[in-house]
Structure 1
Amino acid sequence: MNDPRFKIAHREAIIGVLLVLINFAIWFGFAYGLGSADPKEYTYIFGFPAWFFYSCIAGTIFMILLIIFVIKVFFKDMPFDDEGGDKS
């Protein structure tokens, strides 16, 4: 099949995997980068350790905004039914 919807779906799947990798890199980087210090040396933001705030709270907010942007800019709305109209 040379349905152009498969090419679009493949591209969008790759974008989805990239978003997951970005999310993991942000979480891992902050959680283990800032969280590997002695707990007595932690800095706190809104009562949370900085590593937790940046990896879990700020990272989640950033990813939500990034996903909204990516969906609006890179994703296409496409029909799921056959283009030929054959309903057999």
Structure 2
Amino acid sequence: MKETDWRFKIANREALIGLGLAVFNFLWWFGFAYGMGSRPVEEYSYVFGLPDWFFWSCVVGFLVIVVLVIVIVKFFFVEVPFDEEGDDR
């Protein structure tokens, strides 16, 4: 039986991390957009001229995800060679 290439294990781990980031992004957006945005319009408060639900779900959410992606890629992802000469691991 042929052993699985070590690069597939890394790719699977990184794909699961990416999926986790996507789920976190959706939950952040959904929680703030529908949690705070389900109030009547008269009760909205505003941050920098934007409704608070929009500011927290879209503006701050975008910034949080950008920072998380940068940190994850910098510290958790590894460079993997694609050539077959590197199969000596």
| TM-score, with length taken from structure 2 | 0.91
Secondary structure in 1 aligned to 2:19?
A: helix
Cα distance between partner residues in 2 of 1:81 and 1:20: 29
Q: Verify: 1:2 aligned to 2:28, yes or no.
A: no
Stretches of structure 2 that go unaligned for 5 or more consecutive residues are: none
Aligned length in residues: 85
Cα distance between partner residues in 2 of 1:84 and 1:48: 52
1:56 aligned partner: 58
Secondary structure in 1 aligned to 2:67?
A: helix
How large is the Cα RMSD of the aligned pairs?
A: 1.3
Cα distance between partner residues in 2 of 1:54 and 1:63: 12
| Displacement of 1:84 | 5.5
| Displacement of 1:16 | 0.4
Cα distance between partner residues in 2 of 1:38 and 1:2: 56
Distance 1:82 1:36, change over 3 A: same
Stretches of structure 1 that go unaligned for 5 or more consecutive residues are: none
2:16 aligned partner: 14
| TM-score, with length taken from structure 1 | 0.92
